Amino acid sequence: TDTTAPLGRLPFCELHVHIEGTLEPATIFELAAAKDIRLPYADEAELAALYDFSDLQSFLDLYYANMQVLQTEDDFEALGAAYLRRAGAAGVVHAEMFVDPQAHSVRGIPESVVLAGLHRAIAAVGAETGITASIIVCVLRDQPVDSAERMLDRVLESGFAIEGIGLDSAEVGYPPSLFRSVFERARAAGLHAVAHAGEEGPASYVWEALDVLGVERVDHGNRALDDAALVARLAADRIPLTLCPLSNVRLRVIPSIAEFPLRRMLDTGILVTINSDDPAYFGGYLDDNLRALRGAFDLGGDVLGLLARNSVEASFLAPARKHALL
């Protein structure tokens, strides 16, 4: 199979990308040099050797450590702009970008600085290329509920436009139901709700995300396939799963791309989308994920077209823009 041919002009929405997970090794060294930050690695090669992850936590440790180079509004603007330009080149016409405000406020960087930088990136690259983007603030589920409540307070007080609230970080041991009050308040404020569930955690966490947090999409959701009643619920209610193939391989959720359950997922009738998760860490952007699938599977019957349409339908875009893209 040719894994390098272009993907054509199919318009995709990217619905599962952590903006801090687009921080490339070269950028880490550039920012560290500019700010006189001493990194615990001598060069890019030494850093690259650490990208051999054994599970979600082994990735998260490096992901949070590398964020120390992100400090100013300009840093967040540059990060967002580089991602949006790269995503546009991959065929992305709209991105709903996750950000982890608690990972920055703990280092003394206010929510308003992070959001101001990302909004400047969205405006600048939007004017340049026509790509659109919005922001989903994620709750770090391995931090106390009170920290999440205060993050939400400050995000709402900041006045910056926010599309939704999400839930991420270390999953097992931190069930969605812990954050019922935070999600209730976010939804009452008009935010959309999504949550990571069923990546390393059990199908019961997916049920909780739906029934306790009231989420409209589930991020990953791989383990939903273990529970036939849950599969039926997701399909019947058209709850999308935002799947991330290269992430699943690199975090050892699946042994290889050949085991990615694309066919099983599509056969259930669940609305599934393909996404890049943390592209600087997992081997690539949306186009790289799609090419990996095309290299592993016979994507006949216009599966790529279906995945593009699913990504539009699963987005939080207004109906008129969805219609224009479908």
Residues found near ligand ES4 in the complex (CB under 6 A): 18, 21, 56, 63, 168-169, 196, 199, 247, 277-278
Question: What DSSP designation does 177 have?
Answer: G
For residue 55, say whether it is annotated as part of any ligand binding site. Answer: no
Does residue 96 interact with Zn ion by CB under 5 A? no
Kindly state the smallest distance separating residue 219's Cβ from Zn ion, in Å.
5
Q: Which stretch binds Zn ion (CB under 5 A): 118-126, 260-268, 271-279, 309-317?
A: 271-279
Packed helices 73-89 and 111-129: angle between N→C axes, nearest 10 degrees: 40
Distance CA 28, CA 26 (A): 5
Q: Which stretch binds Zn ion (CB under 5 A): 88-96, 125-133, 148-156, 275-283?
A: 275-283
Kindly state the smallest distance separating residue 281's Cβ from ligand ES4, in Å.
8
Residue 56 binding target from Zn ion, ligand ES4, none, CB below 5 to 8 Å by type = ligand ES4
Task: Give 255-315 as a DSSP string.
Answer: SSGGG--HHHHHHHT--EEE--BSHHHHT--HHHHHHHHHHHS---TTHHHHHHHHHHHHS
| Cβ partners under 8 Å of residue 51, min gap 6 | 62, 250, 281
Kindly state the smallest distance separating residue 199's Cβ from Zn ion, in Å.
7
Is 199 among the catalytic positions? Answer: yes
Nearest residue (CB) to Zn ion, 20 versus 277: 277
Interacting residue with Zn ion among 79, 277, 291, 316 (CB under 5 A) = 277
For residue 195, CA distances in Å to 20, 204, 216, 238 come to: 17, 13, 9, 16
Alpha helices in the chain (DSSP H): 25-35, 44-48, 56-66, 73-89, 101-105, 111-129, 145-158, 180-188, 203-211, 228-236, 245-250, 262-268, 279-282, 286-296, 303-314, 319-325
Residue 21 binding target from Zn ion, ligand ES4, none, CB below 5 to 8 Å by type = ligand ES4
Token pair, residue 175, equals 């069930």
- Cβ distance 196 to 244 under 8 Å? no
Nearest residue (CB) to ligand ES4, 111 versus 171: 171
For residue 196, say whether it is annotated as part of any ligand binding site. Answer: yes
Kindly state the smallest distance separating residue 79's Cβ from ligand ES4, in Å.
14
- Cβ distance 29 to 39 under 8 Å? yes
For residue 146, say whether it is annotated as part of any ligand binding site. Answer: no
Nearest residue (CB) to ligand ES4, 70 versus 317: 70
Strands 217-220 and 192-197: parallel
For residue 265, CA distances in Å to 216, 231, 285, 296, 317 come to: 18, 9, 21, 16, 24
For residue 220, say whether it is annotated as part of any ligand binding site. Answer: no
Kindly state the smallest distance separating residue 293's Cβ from ligand ES4, in Å.
18
Q: Which stretch binds Zn ion (CB under 5 A): 100-108, 207-215, 269-277, 310-318?
A: 269-277
Task: Report the residue number whose CB is nearest to ligand ES4.
Answer: 168
> How many residues lie near Zn ion (CB under 5 A)?
1
* Site of tokens 């540059």: 78
Nearest residue (CB) to ligand ES4, 169 versus 273: 169
Token pair, residue 64, equals 């949070």
For residue 18, say whether it is annotated as part of any ligand binding site. Answer: yes
Nearest residue (CB) to ligand ES4, 66 versus 268: 66
Single out the residue of 184, 183, 150, 180 nearest to residue 165, CA to CA.
Answer: 183
Nearest residue (CB) to ligand ES4, 12 versus 98: 98
Residue 183 binding target from ligand ES4, Zn ion, none, CB below 5 to 8 Å by type = none
Catalytic residue among 199, 200, 208, 216: 199
Q: Under the rule (CB under 5 A), what is the footprint of Zn ion?
A: 277
* Catalytic residue positions, numbered: 199
